[in-house]
Amino acid sequence: MTKNKRLKNEGELLKEAVRLGVQYGEKRGVVEFEPTDSMHEKIEYIYRLLVHDKLIQPLAKLDVSQKAMAHKLALWAAKQLPEEHPLFK
């Protein structure tokens, strides 16, 4: 098992990833998130959707955890944002 490299502003990148993921899922018409959906539910759904759509590589089955999925989404968000985005400064 490899250790996840900590991203600068990972928490903020995760929030951005959830925002982008919610937009992506709703735009595709595959999900409608409710205000009562927890962050954990959103992270897991978005992770599985992005893996299904082949936008991110799946984690090894033994490595799947809430923390690992959140890290994957933060990495994904970092790649979606322009270099001059405030989270990179």
Check which CATH number belongs to the domain holding 45 and give it: 1.20.120.1930
How many structural domains are present in the chain? 1
Domain that holds residue 36: 10-80
Residue 5 lies in a domain: no
Domain-located, residue 4: no
What is the sign, positive or negative, of the torsion defined by CA atoms of 51, 55, 59, 60? positive
| Confidence at residue 84, expressed as pLDDT on a 0 to 100 scale | 83
Residues 8-52 pLDDT 10s:
889 999 999 999 999 999 999 999 999 999 999 999 999 999 999
pLDDT at position 63, please? 94
The answer on pLDDT for 4 being more than 90 is no
Report pTM: 0.87
Angstrom distance (rounded) from CA 27 to CA 43: 17
How large is the average pLDDT for residues 54-63? 96
Whether the Cβ atoms of residue 59 and residue 2 lie closer than 8 Å to each other: no
In a domain? residue 41? yes
Mean of pLDDT values over 55-70: 96
